[in-house]
Structure 1
Amino acid sequence: MGALKTGLSNLFSRRSLWRLTKLLIIFAIPMGISLLIGKIYQNWDDDPERGAIAIENGAFGENYSTPIYLDQGWSANDSLWYYNTTQGSALMPYDFFIALEQSDSTEPFRANSLIDKYRYLPQKPTFFNPDGLPVGFVKESYQGNDYIGFTCAACHTGQVNYKGTAIRIDGGPAMADMVGFLTDLQKSLDIALANSEKNQRFVAKVLELNNTYSNADEVQTDLQRWARKIRLYNNINASKVEYGYARLDAFGRIYNRVLEHVINRNQVRDVLLGATKSEDDDTNLLTPVQVDKVLEDISETIIGDLQFAKIIDRLMSTKEGYPALSLAVMNERIKPLLFNEPNAPVSYPFLWDIVQSDYVQWNGLASNAGVGPLGRNTGEVIGVFGILDWTAHKRGWSLPALVTGQKSKSYQIDFTSSIDLVNLSRLESHLASLTSPVWPTQKADSPQQEIAKAIFDKLPEWQIDGTKVRRGRALYAEYCESCHEVIDRTDHDRIVVASMLNIDVAGTDRAMAENSVNYTGFSGNFKNTYQTESVGGLVIKDRAPVVQILTAATMGEVTTAPDPDKWWPRRALDWLYMLAHSFFDNEIKASVKSGNYQPDTTASPYQSLLSYKARSLNGIWATAPYLHNGSVPSIYDLLLPVKRDGDPADGLYRPTEFEVGSREFDPRKVGLRTEGYDGFTFKADKRGDFNIGHEYGTIHAPAVNGEKPEPLTDEERWDLVEYIKTL
C-alpha cells in the first residue's frame, strides 16, 4: 500500500504532470494535423454524379439512367465519403474479390450485372473508390493485409426508379439480398477450389495483382481457409424463414457471431457430450473419445472462426476416430445447442435522424446517450465480418477486463480486432447532417432538388394535391400523430423521441422482439461476471441471454485502444479522442423510454424490449416495404386491415402475397412494384413474416378510452397517403 501511495504521489507531482502534459502535446500536435489533413482529404472526392452509373439490361428488366439526388443536406463529397469510409469489416481478402469468377461463367463475381441482381448499387471509379466497387463495398487494411469489407452504406443506401429515372436515397434502406449474395459467394469460392481450370485462372489473377500473395501455395491455402469461413457463416445462419430482398435478421447474425467467438472449450465439450440422436432417442450422439478427439488442441478459453471451422470439419470427417456426422445431423442435433436460428428478418432501418434519436433499433434496444452509438456500431461491425482476433491471456490489469468484470478471472479476453472505432465515431458525426429526402416535386434549397423537380414536375402522377393534403393533415393528427410526431427535418436541435409500443398492443409480428429477449447462448469467460442494467446488477450465467453477452463483448471492444496497426501513442490518443468525442459531442442524454410498454423489472430485466418503436415519418415515402419486417408493400396497403374470419369477402385488405426486389416506384400508393416480374415472392404466412397489427383507422382498430374509433373511408385513406408524401 505504501508503494502504491508513493507511486501515485510521484505520478501526480507537478513535475510529472508537466512532463505528461508535454508528452500529450507532442503526440496531440501530429494527431491534430492528421485530423485536419483527413478533413481536407475527405473533400477531395467530389464527383458530381457521386460515382453513380446508369444500368442497362438490369435485374427484373429495369434499366435506369445515372441516378439523381434529392436535397438531404449532403454534398457530393459527403455522400462519397460515407460510401467509402471503412469501419473494420473484412469479408474476404481483397485480391480474392477482384479475381473471383462467378460460379457458372468466367464473368467476374464483382460484375455489375451480379451486383445489380442482388440489388446492391454499382459505381464507377472515383478518388476514394479507384476500383469502382459498389456502394458500401470498400478496401479494408488490417495487420498488413487488404480485405473487401462492407461500410454502413451497403445496407443503408436506397434507390427508387420511375420509368428509367433513378433517385438515390442516402441513408435509405437497401433493397439488398445479402443472403443470396453470400450464398452465391460461397458457391463461387467452392467451385474455384474444385474446378481445376477455374482454380488456375483464379490463382493466376491473384498473383498478377502482385499485392498480398507471392506464390500459388499461399493463394491455395487462403482460398481453402476463406471458403471454409464463409461456408461456416452461411451454415450457422441458415434459417427456415426466407429473407428475400430488403430484409435481414442482423441481430440474429450478430448474436451468433458473438457466441462463436465467446464460447470456450469446456462448454463445447459439454454440448457435444449431451447431444442425442433424435428427439425420440436420447442415446448419446457422440462418445467421450470422439468428443476429445474433435477438441484436440482447441483453445481452452476462446475459440473463434478458424478453430470453430476446425471443430465442424472434424465432426463431419470420415477419418478414423472422428464421428462422420452428416450435414443434416449437424444442423438438426448440434447447431441448435450452440446457436439460435436468425429467423426474424427486418427491414434495413433508414438513418436520417438517427443521431438525434433517443433510442434506436426496431425494439428500442440501444440508448443513444453517451457512448451508446459507439457500442451499437461496434456490434454492427461484428455482424458484418469484423475480424475478431480475440485471444486469452493470464490475469493482469487492463481496462477491458475491468469494465467487463474479468479482473479476477484466471484468464482474460484481449479484444484485438479490425473494428475501426475512430471511423465509427466519425461516421456517426457525419450522419448528424443527413436529412430525410423530400418528395421530388417539393421545393428545397439545393441544386440537386431543383434537377429532380424539373424532371418530376412534368409527370402528373407525381403532383401533390393540396386539398387532399389539408384533409390528410387533420386525419394524421387524429389517427397517427400521438405516436408519429411531426418534426422539422432541418432543425439542428431536434430530438426524435421513440414512442415504444408493447407488442401485445401493436399486434405486429413478434419474432424480432421476442428473439432479442429470449435467445440465449454460452457466455464463455463472461460467466459469473456482473452487468449493470436499469433494474440493478445481473450475474451472467453459464448460459445467458445473448443480449448480455453482446453487451459485454461490445464494452470490451469499445474500451480497447483501436487500430493495432498504429503506433501505441497514436492508438492511445485515438482512443481518448474517440471516447471524449462520444461523451461531449453527443447531444442525447440518458432518458426514460417514452410510450406504452411493459417496464423492466428485477424478474424480467429485458421486458421493455418486447416492444416496437414508432418514430417520426419524415421521408417515409422512400422506405418501402413497410412495418418492421417489410411485410406490407405500400403506405396505402398499410392503412388497410388484415382479413380475418368473418370479414366481408368484398372488402379491401392487405395483400398476403407480393413480389419484392423491384425498385420501380408507385407514386400513387407510395410503395414499390409488387407484381409482373420474377422477384422474391413474399408470403405473410408464418412467424417472422406476418403482416398483422398496426391496424389503426381500420375496422380492426383497437378501442381508445373504451370507444371504438370510426374506420377511415377509402377517400380518407387516399387523403392520408397524400399528406404522408409531404413529410
Structure 2
Amino acid sequence: MKKSIVFASLLGLILIACNVNTALVMPKDVKYLQEVGNVPERLSLEQNWPDSTKEKFWFTPQGAEIMPYLWFTWLEQPDSEELFRSSEYMSMLGYLPMKTSKFNPSGLPVGFVMTRQKSVKGAMLGFTCAACHTNQLDYQGNKYLIDGAPTLGNFVKFFDNLMDALNETHRDDEKFMRFAKRVLGGTYSVQSAEKLRSDLLKQATASGQRQMVNDLPNSFPDDFTSYARLDAFTNIENAGTAFALKMLSNRNTPAAPVSYPFLWGTHQSDVVQWNCSAPNTPVVGPLVRNTGQVVGVFGGLEIKKAAWWQRLYGKKKRYSSTIDFHGLGALELYVKDLRSPRWEDTNFPAINRDLAAAGEPLFKEHCARCHKIVKPADEGLPYKAARTPLDSLGTDPMTAWAAEHHMAATGILEGTKAEILIGDRFRDSAQAIQIPVNGVVGLVLKNPVKALSAAAITGEKETETKSWRKHVAYHERIRDSIVEHRFDQHGLMELAVMDREHPEDYTPTNKNLDGLVYKGRPLNGIWATAPYLHNGSVPSLWALMMPPPERPRTFWVGSREFDPNEVGYVYDRGKTKFQVYRNGKIMEGNSNLGHNYGTHLPEADRRALVEFMKTL
C-alpha cells in the first residue's frame, strides 16, 4: 500500500497516541447501574476485531449530543412508568441492548454513548457509528452479532418516542417528580426541581425543532422511513441549512431514505455515499466524511458572523460544533481493520459448493463489472468503486436526485467562498449539501492540528523526518478533498447494457438523471446486510434475483429471524410493512425496480448466483 499523502508531525504523533489510549475514559463520579430487562446472549463472528476493539467501537463518542446522559438514564417511556432505556423497549425500536460495562455505565444499547466529560453531570448522550452499523441475525436459537452490518433500527420512531417522553415528563407532575428525584439525587430541592423542569422544557423545544425540520408531509404514510433505513443525506443537509444558519424554514424534506451501508470495505473505497458524492482521499477523506456524518446526527454545527475585531484581520465566519475529533480518529482506525463475516462461521445450512461453483461464472458475467470479487485476504486493499449511471441501472432515483437538486438559502454565507479558501462565492441560494460541506471545512480548518492528528491515526505507520510545513499543505489537502466530489464522464466504469426488451424493469420517472450515479462495491458479506438495493426496497437476495416486476410489492420489516434459503430476514412477519405502491402508483423513494442483471436467467441459474453470493 502506498504511503499516505499526508504525514503527521511529532506533535501529531503524540496526539495520536493519546487519542488511541484515552478514547474511552469514564468520569470519576460515574455510577454503574444495572441494565433494565434481559440482554440476550449473542455469538460474535470472526471479523478481525478482538473483543476490546468491539467494545471501543460500540461506545467511543464522536461528539453527537442528543440530551443530558443522566436524563436519558432515568427518562420513562411516554405512556408507562418503565424506563425508556429498558431492553424490551429499545429492542422494539430496533436497537441492540447491551449489559452494563466499564464503558457502558447505564446499560444502554450498542452505539448509545456518553460524551467525554470530567463529570457525569456535564455528560451528554450521543450516537456513535455503531448505533447505525451493528446488527443481529437470529437463526434456530443462535443470535449472531455482526459488527459493521446495517442496523434494523427505526431512528424516526426512536426520536418521535423520545420527544413524546420528554413532553409527557414535563407535563405530568407525578412522572416529572419521579424523574427529578432520580436525576437530582441528593441535590434535590424544590428550587433545583424547578430549574430542572425549565431545562427540560428547553430541551424538548430544541428537540421539537429538529423533529419539525426533518418531518415528512402528512401525505406520506406514517411508516414511510420505518426500520432499517433513513434519509441521512437530507438530515445532514438540514443540519447545515436550517440549524447551523439558524433558519428553520430553510430545509428540504427527507423523502429519499436509504438502507444503512455496511462498513467493511468503507475505508478502502475511493468514494463513499450511495451516490459516490464523497471522495475518500487517504487520511483527509475519512476525516471529512466522518465529520459530515456527525454533523447530521446531533453534531451541533453552528456558523456565525465573526466578531468585529476578528473581521479586522480577514476572518468572516466562526464555525463551532460538538464534534470529537479524537473519537472520530479512533473509530476510523477500528473500521480500517474490520472485515466481512463468513457464512461458514454460523450454524446456517452448509453452502452447496457445487451449486456455488456453477454460480461463480454467472456472477463474473452478470455482476462483476460493478461488484468486484475480492478474496478475503485482500479485503484490506484499496479499490475503486463502480459508478453506475442511473438511466442504465433503472433503480429508484430519489437518493441521487435529491442530493443533486436540493437547494437552500445561503443566509450569512452569501458572498463567501463555498470551500472557504477557494471556489465560487455563494449567491443567495446554493446546492443544499454545499452548506454543511462549508461547515465541515470550517471546523477542520479551525482546528488543523487536532483534526489532522485524529485523521492521521489511519495513515501508514511510516513517517518522514522532513518538515511539517513542507510536506503538510494541510489547508490545500482539505480543499482538494472537498472539490473532488465531481467526477467526469471518463471516471464512469463501463457497464453492461441492460436488456431493453424489458422496459417494465425500470423505475418510471420524469426526473433529469444526467450525471447521476449509484455506487457498486465488492459484495463480501452481502448475505448479512438485508434489505437490499440502496433504498432497502427488496427483502432478500433471492427476491433481488427475481425479474423486477415480480419482486414483493409489500413485505414486513423489523424481524431479526434469518432465512438462509432466501438470504435475508423473514418478511412474512415483522414490526411494520414496507410498501412499494400506494394508491396504485410506485411511491417515490420506494421503487424496487431496476438492477435487472441476471434476473431473467432460468431459475436454476439464479439459485446458483445466490448460492455463490453466500461464499463472498
- TM-score bracket, normalised by the shorter chain, equals 0.7 to 0.9
1:131 alignment counterpart: 106
Please state if 1:514 is matched with 2:401: yes
SS of equivalent residue, structure 2 residue 376: coil
CA offsets 1:211-244 (integer angstroms, 9 cap, x no match): 9x98112211210011111111111111236111
1:494 alignment counterpart: 381
Structure of larger gyration radius: 1
1: CA distance between counterparts of 2:386 and 2:177? 57
Q: Which amino acid aligns with 1:715?
A: A
- Which one of the candidate residues 47, 51, 56 is aligned to 1:72? 47
Q: Which amino acid aligns with 1:114?
A: Y
RMSD: 3.3
Please state if 1:347 is matched with 2:248: no
1:541 alignment counterpart: 427
Please state if 1:658 is matched with 2:555: yes
1:704 alignment counterpart: none
- Assess if the C-alpha contact under 8 Å between 1:513 and 1:609 holds in 2: no
Please state if 1:105 is matched with 2:11: no
Q: How does 1:196-207 map to 2 (within 5 A)?
A: 196-207=173-184
Runs of 4+ with deviation above 6 angstroms: 27-30, 39-42, 53-56, 582-592, 606-609
2:237 alignment counterpart: 255
- Which one of the candidate residues 368, 374, 378 is aligned to 2:291? 378
1:316 alignment counterpart: none
Q: Which amino acid aligns with 2:434?
A: Q
- Assess if the C-alpha contact under 8 Å between 2:301 and 2:439 holds in 1: no
Query: 5+ residue gaps in structure 2?
Result: 1-8, 27-34, 464-476, 496-511
1:718 alignment counterpart: 607
Q: Which amino acid aligns with 1:224?
A: L
SS of equivalent residue, structure 1 residue 415: strand
Alpha-carbon deviation of 1:418? 1.1
Query: Structure 1 residues 151, 608: closer, same or farther in 2, change over 3 A?
Result: farther
1:388 alignment counterpart: 301
- Assess if the C-alpha contact under 8 Å between 1:125 and 1:132 holds in 2: yes
2:493 alignment counterpart: 595
- Assess if the C-alpha contact under 8 Å between 1:526 and 1:552 holds in 2: no
- Assess if the C-alpha contact under 8 Å between 2:537 and 2:578 holds in 1: no
1: CA distance between counterparts of 2:24 and 2:100? 20
SS of equivalent residue, structure 2 residue 234: helix
| Further displaced range: 250-259 or 617-626 | 250-259
Query: Structure 1 residues 39, 251: closer, same or farther in 2, change over 3 A?
Result: closer
CA offsets 1:140-176 (integer angstroms, 9 cap, x no match): 1469721111010000001111122111110000000
2: CA distance between counterparts of 1:105 and 1:189? 13
Query: Structure 1 residues 55, 193: closer, same or farther in 2, change over 3 A?
Result: closer
Q: Which amino acid aligns with 2:124?
A: Y
CA offsets 1:436-489 (integer angstroms, 9 cap, x no match): 1110x2xxxxxxx4xx4xxx1xx6xx1111110110011111111111100123
- Assess if the C-alpha contact under 8 Å between 1:665 and 1:673 holds in 2: yes
1: CA distance between counterparts of 2:462 and 2:309? 33
Alpha-carbon deviation of 1:187? 0.6
2: CA distance between counterparts of 1:488 and 1:395? 58
Query: Structure 1 residues 624, 395: closer, same or farther in 2, change over 3 A?
Result: same
Please state if 1:671 is matched with 2:568: yes
1:627 alignment counterpart: 533
Query: Structure 1 residues 390, 217: closer, same or farther in 2, change over 3 A?
Result: farther
Alpha-carbon deviation of 1:538? 2.9
2:444 alignment counterpart: 558
CA offsets 1:578-607 (integer angstroms, 9 cap, x no match): 35556767999989644259xxxxxxxx98
Query: Structure 1 residues 610, 407: closer, same or farther in 2, change over 3 A?
Result: farther
2: CA distance between counterparts of 1:32 and 1:691? 44
- Assess if the C-alpha contact under 8 Å between 2:20 and 2:330 holds in 1: no
Please state if 1:225 is matched with 2:202: yes
Q: Which amino acid aligns with 1:340?
A: N
- Assess if the C-alpha contact under 8 Å between 1:435 and 1:490 holds in 2: no
CA offsets 1:101-138 (integer angstroms, 9 cap, x no match): 11111000111111000110000011111221110001
- Which one of the candidate residues 593, 598, 602 is aligned to 1:692? 593
Please state if 1:182 is matched with 2:58: no
Q: Which amino acid aligns with 1:378?
A: T
Query: 5+ residue gaps in structure 1?
Result: 1-23, 43-52, 57-63, 264-302, 309-334, 399-405, 442-448, 562-571, 598-605, 644-652, 699-710
- Assess if the C-alpha contact under 8 Å between 2:12 and 2:449 holds in 1: yes
Please state if 1:91 is matched with 2:73: no
SS of equivalent residue, structure 1 residue 626: coil
SS of equivalent residue, structure 2 residue 227: coil
TM-score by length of 1: 0.70
1: CA distance between counterparts of 2:16 and 2:381? 30
| Further displaced range: 416-425 or 507-516 | 416-425
Q: How does 1:334-483 map to 2 (within 5 A)?
A: 335=249, 338-370=250-282, 371-394=284-307, 408=314, 412-439=316-343, 441=344, 449=345, 452=346, 456=347, 462-483=349-370
| Further displaced range: 539-548 or 465-474 | 539-548
Alpha-carbon deviation of 1:387? 2.6
Please state if 1:574 is matched with 2:450: yes
SS of equivalent residue, structure 2 residue 136: strand
2: CA distance between counterparts of 1:198 and 1:495? 53
Alpha-carbon deviation of 1:407? 7.7
- Assess if the C-alpha contact under 8 Å between 1:249 and 1:346 holds in 2: yes
| Further displaced range: 190-199 or 167-176 | 190-199
TM-score by length of 2: 0.82
SS of equivalent residue, structure 2 residue 143: strand
1: CA distance between counterparts of 2:36 and 2:368? 39
2: CA distance between counterparts of 1:671 and 1:586? 42
CA offsets 1:82-107 (integer angstroms, 9 cap, x no match): 00000001101111101111111100
- Assess if the C-alpha contact under 8 Å between 2:23 and 2:327 holds in 1: no
Please state if 1:637 is matched with 2:534: no
CA offsets 1:236-265 (integer angstroms, 9 cap, x no match): 1112361110000001111111112343xx
2: CA distance between counterparts of 1:355 and 1:586? 18
Please state if 1:682 is matched with 2:575: no
Alpha-carbon deviation of 1:637? 0.7
- Assess if the C-alpha contact under 8 Å between 1:206 and 1:219 holds in 2: no
Query: Structure 1 residues 207, 609: closer, same or farther in 2, change over 3 A?
Result: farther
Alpha-carbon deviation of 1:673? 0.8
Query: Structure 1 residues 594, 214: closer, same or farther in 2, change over 3 A?
Result: farther
Q: Which amino acid aligns with 1:436?
A: S
Query: Structure 1 residues 620, 134: closer, same or farther in 2, change over 3 A?
Result: same
- Which one of the candidate residues 99, 124, 131 is aligned to 1:147? 124
1: CA distance between counterparts of 2:514 and 2:380? 27
Query: Structure 1 residues 365, 586: closer, same or farther in 2, change over 3 A?
Result: farther
Residue identity over aligned pairs, in percent, reads: 35
Q: How does 1:163-182 map to 2 (within 5 A)?
A: 163-182=140-159
Q: Which amino acid aligns with 1:578?
A: A
SS of equivalent residue, structure 2 residue 531: coil
Q: Which amino acid aligns with 1:250?
A: A
- Assess if the C-alpha contact under 8 Å between 1:262 and 1:525 holds in 2: no
Q: Which amino acid aligns with 2:263?
A: L
| Further displaced range: 552-561 or 339-348 | 552-561
Query: Structure 1 residues 220, 609: closer, same or farther in 2, change over 3 A?
Result: farther
Alpha-carbon deviation of 1:500? 0.5
